[in-house]
Amino acid sequence: MVIDCGTCVVAGLACQDCVVSVLLGVPELPVVADDHVRALSVLADSGLVPPLRLISPKKAG
């Protein structure tokens, strides 16, 4: 899995509440594949981990 926090619109603002930070600490340049985002969403919806706070610029508006 590659996670790209460098493209997250809320990087720095929502890092403490993001599943990436819980699992890995605050990473420098992560990128999350779409299938991994779906898997993390299932875990978060089940209450097992906090939600992924990554918001890509292409999805932000």
Range of the domain at 25: 5-60
Cβ atoms of 9 and 55 closer than 8 Å: yes
Q: What is the pLDDT of residues 6-58, one digit of tens each?
A: 777 777 777 777 887 777 776 555 566 778 888 888 998 999 888 877 666 66
Instruction: Tell me what pLDDT residue 60 has.
Output: 46
Tokens of 1: 């899995």
Q: What's phi and psi for 21, nearest 5 deg?
A: -65, -35
* Rounded Cα distance, 47 and 45, in Å: 5
50 closest CA partner among 41, 37, 38, 61: 41
- pTM equals 0.43
- Model confidence at 61: pLDDT above 60: no
* Domain count of the fold of the chain: 1
